[in-house]
Amino acid sequence: DTGVSQDPRHKITKRGQNVTFRCDPISEHNRLYWYRQTLGQGPEFLTYFQNEAQLEKSRLLSDRFSAERPKGSFSTLEIQRTEQGDSAMYLCASSLAAGDIEQFFGPGTRLTVL
Amino acid sequence: SQQGEEDPQALSIQEGENATMNCSYKTSINNLQWYRQNSGRGLVHLILIRSNEREKHSGRLRVTLDTSKKSSSLLITASRAADTASYFCATDARGTSYGKLTFGQGTILTVHP
């Protein structure tokens, strides 16, 4: 399968714990995006990378959130000291360089914070 | 906050009928895209229309864009039960980073066999 993959697909954690999600984009895509989607809503932009550079972060991304793309390939999203409000689906997408082009989404990681 | 607002929030039709969903947005855009999301699955890109385009077709899909009214519509013709999903419009706003999509809340489409 050459699509975008995310791991894990589901994560249940207790409030206060740290969690890390991984995204593997389509191999030739140099842009990688993270979105968050809560029930009944559309995805909300969190951050994106052009190769290994993180170019923009949403105001939604508090100091407890950090994302990396160390070698310009896979990316990780870490949430520290999780809160119940962090419960959501975290979606990763990738695309070729900027322009009028589509994004390819992964299946998402569903986070539940108890 | 979401820039795109879809209308209706939910739509229920019979197989073979046409389904029309509308999207309104607030700022100038580079392009507008439509995505489909099946229950429990990721988003799938359906069609992209650039700001200088007015209409685009792809198979049973027809998208229109009216930049003067800041609105778009998605028409699915001859619907099938497999079209049952949530449909989102997403705008790539001018003046922001290319590719930073802003999604609406979506339209839930149910097609009854």
> How far apart, in Å, do the first and last CA atoms of chain B sit?
36
Average pLDDT for residues B51-55, to the nearest whole number?
Answer: 96
Could B105 and A42 be called an inter-chain contact, meaning their C-beta atoms sit closer than 8 Å?
Answer: yes
DSSP A74: -
Predicted confidence (pLDDT) at residue B72 exceeds the cutoff of 60: yes
Share of residues in chain B with pLDDT > 70 (%): 96
CA A35, CA B103: separation in Å to the nearest integer? 10
Average pLDDT over chain B, rounded to whole? 92
- Give mean pLDDT, residues B4-15: 90
Closest-approach residue (CA) in chain B for A10: B40
Residue B80 pLDDT greater than 50, yes or no: yes
Whole-number percent of chain A with pLDDT over 70? 98
Say whether B31 and A100 touch across the interface (CB within 8 A).
Answer: yes
pLDDT at residue A59, rounded to an integer? 86
> Which pLDDT value is given to residue B3?
55
Per-residue confidence (pLDDT) for residue B2, from 0 to 100: 41
d(CA B94, CA B63): 20
For A8-110, where are the alpha helices, taking DSSP H only?
none
- State which of A58-67, B4-13, B77-86, B95-104 shows the largest mean pLDDT: B77-86
pLDDT at A46 over 70: yes
Nearest CA-CA partner of A75 in A31, A1, A11, A22? A22
User: Cβ of A42 under 8 Å from any chain B Cβ?
Assistant: yes
Question: What local confidence, expressed as pLDDT, does residue A78 receive?
Answer: 97
Nearest CA in chain A to B43: A105
pLDDT digits (tens, 9 = 90+) for A47-94: 999 999 998 889 878 899 999 999 889 999 999 999 999 999 999 999
pLDDT of residue B40 exceeding 70, the answer is no
pLDDT at position B1, please? 36
